[in-house]
Structure 1
Amino acid sequence: MTAQHACDTADLEPGEAMRLDLEAADGTPLPVALVRDEDGEFHAISDICSHGQVNLSDGEVDGCTIECWLHGSTFDLRTGKPLSLPATQPVPVYPVTVDGERVLVDVDTTADVAR
């Protein structure tokens, strides 16, 4: 696992999201939405909505979901699966590790969203 430092825990309050450009394995920037759900857990998903090609990090966090601000699709932060239309395709989800105050994201690995 090649985890990258995304932010410190104090940088993101529960119910907030931020956009990050992390480095993919080939060195290109990868847009990631780092989200802290209302229970304080961190999640990392692709920042690009699978329907509207807009930043999910600009959307509203509700429980363990994030809503795309443009068309209202909601995505499960744990699986990346869309929970409402118009999106029908999941977005990639990346493993997050909290090491002390550091939040680490591994963009080289994606979660199995077929579950």
Structure 2
Amino acid sequence: MPDDPQTAGPGWHDLGPAHQLPPGEVIEAVAGDRIVAVANVDGELLALDGICAHQGGPLGKGRLEACTLTCPWHGWQYDVRTGRQQLSQTIRQASFAVQVRSDRIWVRLDPPA
């Protein structure tokens, strides 16, 4: 994937510097018309829909412990590797491909062809 946002290809969005997201942290970012939560789990960046399925809480402002992201509003918890809500097999947050290029976080919102 090219480093220039103009040539990155359809669906890819530049979310900012990767060095500002250390392991164990999560951020909220806007990609296109979506809010995403990007988590750093031991150096691996993972992205989920940033709006909690419960009542729309900001997952990117939540707490990350290992692979579990906790919504700051009502405590709903999600596995950031799968998007699955911890207490229900049927509730899942959309997850997105993430790449780091030239210290920039890139997320792809549409599924690869």
- TM range, normalised to the smaller chain? 0.7 to 0.9
Preserved CA contact (<8 Å) 1:51 1:89: no
C-alpha distance in 2, partners of 1:69/1:88?
Answer: 21
Q: Displacement of 1:104 after TM fit? A: 0.8
Q: Displacement of 1:84 after TM fit? A: 3.0
Preserved CA contact (<8 Å) 1:68 1:74: yes
C-alpha distance in 2, partners of 1:64/1:18?
Answer: 14
Write out per-residue CA displacement over residues 22-57 of structure 1, whole angstroms, 9 at most, x where no aligned residue: 11xxxxx211111112x1210110110011211011
Q: Which runs of 5+ in 1 are unaligned?
A: 24-28, 111-115
C-alpha distance in 2, partners of 1:61/1:42?
Answer: 12
Aligned length: 103
* Structure 1 partner of 2:103: 101
Q: Which runs of 5+ in 2 are unaligned?
A: 1-9
C-alpha distance in 1, partners of 2:103/2:30?
Answer: 20
SS in 2 for 1:95: strand
Question: So what's the TM-score if we normalise by structure 1?
Answer: 0.80
Identity across aligned pairs (percent)?
A: 29
Residues 49 and 16 (structure 1), Cα distance of their counterparts in 2 relative to 1, 3 Å cut = same
Q: Displacement of 1:64 after TM fit? A: 1.3
Structure 1 runs (4+) deviating above 3 angstroms are none
* Structure 1 partner of 2:51: 48
After TM superposition, the structure 1 = structure 2 runs for residues 23-62 of structure 1, keeping only pairs within 5 Å, are 23=32, 29-37=33-41, 39-62=42-65
* Structure 1 partner of 2:73: 70
C-alpha distance in 1, partners of 2:13/2:94?
Answer: 17
Q: Cα RMSD over matched residues? A: 1.9
Letter in 2 for 1:95: A
Write out per-residue CA displacement over residues 53-111 of structure 1, whole angstroms, 9 at most, x where no aligned residue: 110111110111201112212101111000137x962111000012231211001128x
C-alpha distance in 2, partners of 1:40/1:65?
Answer: 15
SS in 1 for 2:100: strand
